[in-house]
Structure 1
């Protein structure tokens, strides 16, 4: 489990992007980094560009630790096909990601929390591991006894995000079916993600 305890919006300011496309992001008002030296701009090195791409992708998915993220890279590299596309698919198959994508919660951090607290069922069975690998055809749903949670109701009513077409969602039943593993172009990232640079970072 990640030990990050800092505000999630500090990630936005450090990277200079509105990572989740949220109206509350401080980047909407100040696009430079935090601290007294935040407005200084230096041309980044190739390593710096690759590192930034990794931090952006890793940060977007919430609370993934470096060891686990490296594991995703190793698995993506081991599989056939484009390693960058494989990496995105693996990250999108995380149970916490599916809960977030289905708009059952408002943020990726809330998704991790609701999974860890045992409020999510996969094919009718309780799963409390955020990194659980969701397979094609799996049905993910909120425990019916928790259907009135304010967090869930807030997410469903929000017009902030759209549900991608690799999920089939029934918000009345608070459930989603994972149809297929997505490609990079299918994923509704609010900012440009560059998994190819992440692959370059780890393959140095």
Structure 2
């Protein structure tokens, strides 16, 4: 099993939830933690434990984001006017790899990061290979012409597993997606319950 897949499934097992709603998640068959003690009854988490878990789950959902990168996103969310939790989700969903994933150009958030890093994506006609690139409303994200026949892309676009959210305007034939607007938290199609308010509490405590 590749490092990417093992890491993805490890997060699912550790959280005891199918974070991405994937049909192949091991949690579908084994809804308990990994390791020889995984089936032991879990103790009640403290407030700090709940906050840490919420942070790990949200950070893990967006793929290989490091703690340093995630903290930087939180700091920017706190700096902006308005609700910090809402700002945090808006900033995470504005990442280029997140938009590539939401547009169904690739099957997973892990694949989205790799897809962008390998130069398969353009933003407003310019090639961008930085997964954390911050997109603005109105930006057009597209798969490069040379990459449009990749099996990965064709399979992802044809998959019924996920729907494209309303804040992404997709033209599947042209393989173009317009980031229409920054979404509110309740618009983001998380398969499991996310608690960005607890993430804010974690960093502000």
Normalised-by-shorter TM-score class: over 0.9
1:87 aligns with 88
1:59 aligns with 60
2:50 aligns with 49
3-state SS of 1:141 partner: strand
| CA displacement at 1:90 relative to structure 2 | 0.1
Q: TM-score, normalised by structure 1?
A: 0.97
Aligned partners of 2:4 and 2:110 also within 8 Å: no
Q: Give me the CA root mean square deviation.
A: 1.2
3-state SS of 1:169 partner: strand
Confirm whether residue 182 of structure 1 aligns to residue 197 of structure 2. no
2:24 aligns with 24
3-state SS of 1:177 partner: strand
CA distance in 2, matches of 1:171, 1:55: 33
Aligned partners of 2:97 and 2:113 also within 8 Å: yes
3-state SS of 2:122 partner: strand
2:37 aligns with 37
1:105 aligns with 106
Query: Segments of 4+ in structure 1 off by > 6 A?
Result: none
Q: TM-score, normalised by structure 2?
A: 0.96
CA shift in 2, pair 1:195/1:146, >3 Å = same
Unaligned runs of 5+ in 2: none
CA distance in 2, matches of 1:188, 1:178: 15
Unaligned runs of 5+ in 1: none
